[in-house]
Chain A
Amino acid sequence: MSSGMANEIKLLSGSSHPELSQKVANRLGIEIARTTSLNYSNQETSVTIGESVRDEDVYILQSTAPGDVNDGLMELLIMIHACKTASARRITAVIPCYPYARQDKKDKSRAPISARLIANMLQTAGANHIITMDLHASQIQGFFNVPCDNLYAEPSVLRWIRENMNVEDCVIVSPDAGGAKRATSIADRLNASFALIHKERPRPNVVGRMVLIGEVRDKVAILVDDMSDTCGTLAKAAALLQANQAREIIAIATHGILSGNAIDTVNNSCLSQLVVTNTVPLGDKLERCPKMKVIDVSGTLAEAIRRTHNGESVSYLFTHVPDWD
């Protein structure tokens, strides 16, 4: 792609997930724009822009690195704002794993709806368009007054299951009622059976009692969820499935946040595999967890960027994995 022409794709990368940005850039056949960011000694974030974005179609890719969510968010906001003041034609925030997605409702008195706050902040900073993936609740799209494309990892997950599992043997299991729709969709596409685990959650990050609804005996149970954070739910669900005589239990989650003791929890659980996508940087977790497999979704993100830039429809990506190779 020639440089110097106005209105090209400019891909800027936040610092949270440079590998994913590089993969997306490779797919698009472009170079990542020259920016750098660091923290001042007083811990304020500083972003340096090293090339012109004037009149360009700017895409800023920033994921949420576990632990540094707020730093990553501020960096993204500063980058968006910088591009706005530098006269970019359009700024699209590409946020594979939307931060604060779980704080999406006022579930108790005076609880913040932080997901909406983030949406407002992104727009205030100057984002004209949002591309994200597997929002915890798709209603979050309604928090935006600008277009928000919610991509799905489902096509990539389906492909992985078809390539790696014997579909006739599988039961798709949703670890909670909230994920039932996501899991049934996969079960329908695979023509596999479906089961559901009902759970009570007394406090955040704590898991209560669980009940299995459906049959998993002598089957390969595939737990499907949008994110795996502390993995407490997954481990308990896996134990429950084993108690119900599932032959093998694997878990597939789009966002592998895996914070806290997640890796130990997974290693000590009766899960045989944990499959996540690379929306979130995994760091050294792959080495620490031999059960973990990674699905690359950079193709979907890159194709969404390409199609958005060219003004083409992205709905093809909701059901298909783009063929880059």
Chain B
Amino acid sequence: MVKNIVVLGGNSHPELVERICASLGLSPCNRILTKFSGGETRCEVQDSVRGKDVYIIQTGAGKVNDVLMDLLIMISALKTGSARRVTAVLPLFPYSRQPDVPYKKAGAPMSRVGPDSSVPPTPGPGIARSAGLDNGTDMSGLMSKASLGEGVNGSPVKKSAPNGINGSLSRPGTSGPGSPLTRTFTTHNYENPGLVSTFQAKPGYKQWVAQAGTLVADLLTCAGADHIITLDLHDSQYQGFFDVPVDNLYAKGLLQRYITLNIPNYKDAVIVSPDAGGAKRASAIADALGLSFSLIHKERRPTKITDRQSASMILVGDVSDRVCILIDDLIDTGNTIVRAAKLLKKEGATQVYALVTHGVLSGDAPDRIRNSCIDKLVTTNSVPQDENRAQLGQKLDVLDISQVIAEAIRRSHHGESLSALFAYN
């Protein structure tokens, strides 16, 4: 039982709030957190917080903008309610992954059209092992790269050039680059993402996507947060956006324990990072467990003129006849990790585990995972996993992160060092 501490839960993950409170031996603060009929957030904190050390638990899942606004309003309410210190606990930090290219509401388009990655290619004699996964063989990957290319190639002259890839598939949502539409408009049309791909920048101007990272950090401090606790930030540098202390916890310990306890013969397994950005995270686990490490590299250099917008994946390292453990911080649409798993199987991996801290699985990601060559997806409950569990069944293992967060809250409240939580070994 911890005294003088108040834990206030948002709407995003009630189960996690319950678990954290149970672990701390207290009951969550009574509050009303709903919406007025006009859509504005209504927040009333019903227990006194005067002079208390308050922790608000809200994760960036579901309707992220509502979640964020709820959090900001709660922080502000606590501050005006004379709380001594307000700590925002954000297991999944909203807007932390800042993609620099627009992508579609339903995840990557074309995921169910064309040859799916559901059938792992059988490696055999005569097939060049180190060929990598060429984009031309994977329609879903290709289409997502094609739409990705729009952002990369800002010049409308290039975009209006006839593109055989898009033409042959002729899907309204992705037929944009070839479309001659040049009208000026602003759209927010979720139902018709085709409008978005007809969006064109002014000639001579390279369009860019606004990065909300610093903004979200500034908003939290502006609302009055004194301290931020989060888990496996996509970019560690994000901590520098804040003027208040940020404690970035790691799920690494949990993932390592899972590997040692649940993967048979894990000593022979290979830790694989699905992209260069996550290499550090993955190699840290490989080092801690003494496992070998390999990396998937996204080759973005054009090989042919029609391949301009596509990228192929190349595996660095040897995985043949071994169990592969893919490590990443976040799985959202699941494209990267599914393609990585496919490449690993192609390169002769016997089994592919994917260990990911945040299992967002938005859009049709659960379908994509179910049909992929990933044998087991392991994630933490930093975002609600009930729906994913219902859809993926045995293919999904969920680790409980509440202990780590509860311990961080306890230590932070008592003014003890948190570094024991950072270094698990």
Q: Which residue of B lies closest to A77 (CB)?
A: B215
Point out the residue from B39, B49, B200, B219 that lies within 8 Å of A259, measured CB to CB: B39
Q: Are A44 and B37 in contact (CB under 8 A)?
A: no
Q: Are B188 and A113 in contact (CB under 8 A)?
A: no
Bound: A181/B207 CA distance, A = 48
Does B291 count as interface, using CB distance less than 8 angstroms?
A: no
Q: Are A34 and B184 in contact (CB under 8 A)?
A: yes
Residues of A within 8 A of B363 (CB): 41
Comparing B99-107, B295-303, B384-392, the segment that makes contact with chain A is B99-107
Q: Are B94 and A44 in contact (CB under 8 A)?
A: yes
Q: Which residue of A lies closest to B202 (CB)?
A: A51
Does A172 count as interface, using CB distance less than 8 angstroms?
A: no
Q: Are B63 and A106 in contact (CB under 8 A)?
A: no
Does B171 count as interface, using CB distance less than 8 angstroms?
A: no
Q: Which residue of B lies closest to A82 (CB)?
A: B210
Shortest Cβ gap from B318 to chain A (Å): 34
- Known pairs A43-B62, A47-B209, A112-B80; A117 contacts B39 (CB<8 A): no
Q: Are A44 and B64 in contact (CB under 8 A)?
A: yes
- Known pairs A15-B188, A50-B207; A74 contacts B103 (CB<8 A): no
Point out the residue from A69, A121, A257 that lies within 8 Å of B72, measured CB to CB: A121
Shortest Cβ gap from B172 to chain A (Å): 15
Q: Are B102 and A112 in contact (CB under 8 A)?
A: no
Bound: A99/B49 CA distance, A = 27
Q: Are A36 and B103 in contact (CB under 8 A)?
A: no
Interface centre among A18, A47, A204 (most CB of B within 10 A): A47
Shortest Cβ gap from A38 to chain B (Å): 5
How many residues on the A side are at the interface (Cβ–Cβ under 8 A)? Answer: 70
Q: Are A205 and B37 in contact (CB under 8 A)?
A: yes
Does B356 count as interface, using CB distance less than 8 angstroms?
A: no
Q: Which residue of B lies closest to A230 (CB)?
A: B37
Does A46 count as interface, using CB distance less than 8 angstroms?
A: yes
Q: Are A46 and B102 in contact (CB under 8 A)?
A: yes
Q: Are A106 and B209 in contact (CB under 8 A)?
A: no
Give A56-88 as 1s and 0s: 1 = Cβ < 8 Å from B's Cβ atoms: 000000001111111101110111011001000
Q: Are A51 and B201 in contact (CB under 8 A)?
A: yes
Q: Which residue of B lies closest to A108 (CB)?
A: B44
Bound: A121/B224 CA distance, A = 11
Q: Which residue of B lies closest to A71 (CB)?
A: B65
Give A94-122 as 1s and 0s: 1 = Cβ < 8 Å from B's Cβ atoms: 00000110110010111111101100110
Does A185 count as interface, using CB distance less than 8 angstroms?
A: no
Q: Are B106 and A41 in contact (CB under 8 A)?
A: yes
Point out the residue from B40, B61, B215, B332 that lies within 8 Å of A103, measured CB to CB: B40
Q: Are A99 and B362 in contact (CB under 8 A)?
A: no
Q: Are A48 and B210 in contact (CB under 8 A)?
A: yes
Does A39 count as interface, using CB distance less than 8 angstroms?
A: yes
Q: Are A112 and B77 in contact (CB under 8 A)?
A: yes
Bound: A259/B40 CA distance, A = 11
Bound: A67/B63 CA distance, A = 12
Bound: A100/B69 CA distance, A = 11
Bound: A51/B209 CA distance, A = 11
Residues of A within 8 A of B95 (CB): 44
Q: Which residue of B lies closest to A35 (CB)?
A: B186
Q: Are B62 and A114 in contact (CB under 8 A)?
A: no
Q: Which residue of B lies closest to A113 (CB)?
A: B80
Residues of B within 8 A of A108 (CB): 44
Does B24 count as interface, using CB distance less than 8 angstroms?
A: no
Residues of B within 8 A of A13 (CB): 186
Can you report 30 residue pairs joining A to B where beta carbons are below 8 Å apart? A32-B184, A34-B201, A35-B186, A36-B187, A36-B188, A38-B190, A39-B190, A40-B362, A41-B362, A43-B64, A43-B362, A44-B212, A45-B212, A46-B102, A46-B210, A48-B151, A49-B207, A52-B205, A65-B39, A66-B39, A68-B39, A70-B65, A106-B80, A109-B45, A109-B81, A111-B43, A112-B77, A117-B72, A117-B76, A229-B38
A interface residues with partner B (beta carbon < 8 Å): 12-16, 18, 21, 31-32, 34-52, 64-71, 73-75, 77-79, 81-82, 85, 99-100, 102-103, 106, 108-114, 116-117, 120-121, 124-125, 204-205, 229-230, 257, 259-260
B interface residues with partner A (beta carbon < 8 Å): 36-46, 48-49, 61-66, 68-69, 72-74, 76-78, 80-81, 94-95, 99, 102-107, 151, 184-190, 193, 196, 199-202, 205, 207-212, 214-215, 218-219, 222-223, 332-333, 360, 362-363, 365
Q: A38-B196, A259-B39 are in contact. List 19 more A-B contacts (CB 8 A).
A: A16-B188, A32-B184, A40-B99, A40-B103, A41-B104, A43-B62, A43-B63, A43-B64, A48-B208, A50-B200, A50-B201, A66-B39, A75-B188, A79-B210, A102-B40, A111-B77, A112-B76, A121-B72, A124-B215
